[in-house]
C-alpha cells in the first residue's frame, strides 16, 4: 500500500488536522447509521485522529481504530474515551483474521479515495470483507466525480489562528487533474517552517464502486447522500455476503 500523506503521517501536520477541520457534523450521519443497523463492534478504517472512533466508544460500542499514520493515532490516543478504543497502526490487512467478525467497518473523510492503485483498493475490499461477520456492514463515502470538487480546492495564502495563540498560513494548489486522479499540494507555514504535503486522490464513479463491491462479495443495500454535503457525495451501505 502507498504510504500515508505527510498531512497525516508528519507529527507536526497531524496535530493540525482537527484544528483545520473542526466541524465534524459529517460524522453524525455515521453515528446514526451505526445505530440504525444495530452494530456493536465497529472498525473505523483510516480513523486518522480518531474523532468517530472515540465518539462511538463513548457510547459503549466495541471499537477498533485503524490507520497507517502513527502520528494521527498519537493525536487520537489523547482524546476522551481513547482508552476504550483498540488502536491499530496499519491498513485494512492488519485487521484480517481478528478474533471475532465486526458488525460494521466504516471509512469517513473520503478515505476510499486514497486507494489510487487498483491493487490497493482490491486488497482493501478483500480485507474488509474478511474482517466482517457474514451480513456485516461496510459503510463509506466518496466524492462524486461529476461534481468536480477539485475545481474549488485552490486556496490562496490564508492565515489561520490556532487555539494555542500561534498563527499558521495555509495554501493549497491543485497541480494535476488526470482523471480519475487529482493531485494537490498543501503547505502550512508555522513557526518559520514550511510544512508540505502532496496528495493524490482517485475519483470513482458510483457504477465502478458498485461493480467492485459486488466482485468482492458485497451486496449494495443503499447509496445515500451525505446530509451535510447534499449532491456532492455517495455514501455506500453494503453487506458482506455470508
Ligand atoms: C482525510 S483522512 C480521514 C480521517 C478520518 N477518517 C476522519 O474522518 O477524520 C484520510 C485518512 O486515510 C488514512 N489512510 C491512508 N492510507 C490508508 C490505507 N491504505 N488504509 C487505511 N487508511 C489510510 C490516512 O492516514 C488518513 O488518516
Which residue's CA is the closest to the ligand 1 atom numbered 23?
Answer: 46
Q: What is the pLDDT of residue 99?
A: 53
Q: Is the CB of 65 under 6 A from ligand 1?
A: no
The residues near 20 (Cβ < 8 Å, ≥ 6 apart) are 160, 170
Q: What is the pLDDT of residue 242?
A: 80
Q: Rounded to whole angstroms, how far apart are CA atoms 49 and 13?
A: 11
Q: Is the CB of 17 under 6 A from ligand 1?
A: no
Q: Is the CB of 72 under 6 A from ligand 1?
A: yes
Q: Which three cell numbers stand for residue 40?
A: 456493536
Q: Is the CB of 6 under 6 A from ligand 1?
A: no
Name the phi and psi angles at 132, rounded to 5: -95, 150
Distance of CA 38 to the CA centre of its chain: 22
Q: What is the pLDDT of residue 97?
A: 65
Q: What is the pLDDT of residue 100?
A: 65
Long-range own/partner contacts, residues 120-125 (CB < 8 A, 24 or more apart): 120/1, 120/2, 121/202, 121/212, 122/212, 122/216, 123/1, 123/92, 123/93, 124/45, 124/91, 124/92, 124/93, 125/212, 125/213, 125/216, 125/218
Specify the ligand 1 atom closest to the Cα of 9. 25
Cα–ligand 1 centroid distance for 10 (angstroms): 13
Residues in the chain: 242
Which residue's CA is the closest to the ligand 1 atom numbered 18?
Answer: 91
Cα–ligand 1 centroid distance for 211 (angstroms): 23
191: left (phi over 0), alpha (psi -120 to 50) or beta: left
Q: How many CB atoms lie within 10 A of CB 230?
A: 8
Q: Rounded to whole angstroms, how far apart are CA atoms 152 and 114?
A: 19
Cα–ligand 1 centroid distance for 49 (angstroms): 9
Reading the chain (242 residues) residue by residue, the pLDDT tens digits are 889 999 999 999 999 999 998 899 999 999 999 999 999 999 999 999 999 999 999 999 999 999 999 999 999 999 999 999 999 999 999 987 665 699 999 999 999 999 999 999 999 999 999 999 999 999 999 999 999 999 999 999 999 999 889 999 999 999 999 999 999 999 999 999 999 999 999 999 999 999 999 999 999 999 999 999 999 999 999 999 98
Which residue's CA is the closest to the ligand 1 atom numbered 7?
Answer: 109
Q: What is the pLDDT of residue 163?
A: 87
Which residue's CA is the closest to the ligand 1 atom numbered 19?
Answer: 91
Q: Which residue bears the cell 459503510?
A: 139
Q: Is the CB of 111 under 6 A from ligand 1?
A: yes
Name the phi and psi angles at 59, rounded to 5: -90, 5
Which residue's CA is the closest to the ligand 1 atom numbered 8?
Answer: 109
Amino acid at each position: 500500500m502507498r504510504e500515508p500523506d505527510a498531512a497525516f503521517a508528519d507529527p507536526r501536520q497531524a496535530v493540525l488536522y482537527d484544528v483545520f477541520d473542526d466541524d465534524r457534523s459529517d460524522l453524525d450521519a455515521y453515528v446514526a447509521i451505526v445505530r440504525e443497523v444495530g452494530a456493536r463492534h465497529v472498525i473505523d478504517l483510516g480513523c486518522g485522529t480518531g474523532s468517530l472512533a472515540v465518539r462511538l466508544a463513548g457510547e459503549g460500542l466495541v471499537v477498533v481504530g485503524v490507520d497507517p499514520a502513527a502520528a494521527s493515532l498519537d493525536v487520537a490516543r489523547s482524546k476522551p474515551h481513547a482508552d476504550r478504543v483498540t488502536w491499530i497502526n496499519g491498513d485494512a490487512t492488519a485487521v484480517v483474521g481478528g478474533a471475532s467478525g465486526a458488525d460494521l467497518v466504516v471509512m469517513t473523510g473520503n478515505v476510499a479515495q486514497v486507494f489510487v492503485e487498483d491493487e490497493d483498493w482490491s486488497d482493501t475490499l478483500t480485507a474488509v470483507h474478511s474482517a466482517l461477520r457474514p451480513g456485516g456492514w461496510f459503510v463509506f463515502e466518496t466524492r462524486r466525480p461529476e461534481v468536480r470538487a477539485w475545481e474549488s480546492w485552490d486556496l490562496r495564502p490564508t492565515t489561520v489562528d490556532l487555539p494555542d495563540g500561534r498563527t499558521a498560513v495555509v495554501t493549497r494548489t491543485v497541480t494535476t487533474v488526470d482523471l480519475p486522479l487529482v493531485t494537490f499540494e498543501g503547505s502550512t507555514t508555522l513557526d518559520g517552517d514550511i510544512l508540505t504535503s502532496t496528495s493524490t486522490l482517485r475519483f470513482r464513479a458510483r457504477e465502478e464502486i458498485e461493480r467492485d463491491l459486488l466482485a468482492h462479495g458485497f451486496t449494495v443495500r443503499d447509496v445515500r447522500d451525505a446530509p451535510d454535503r447534499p449532491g456532492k457525495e455517495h455514501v455506500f451501505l453494503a453487506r458482506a455476503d455470508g
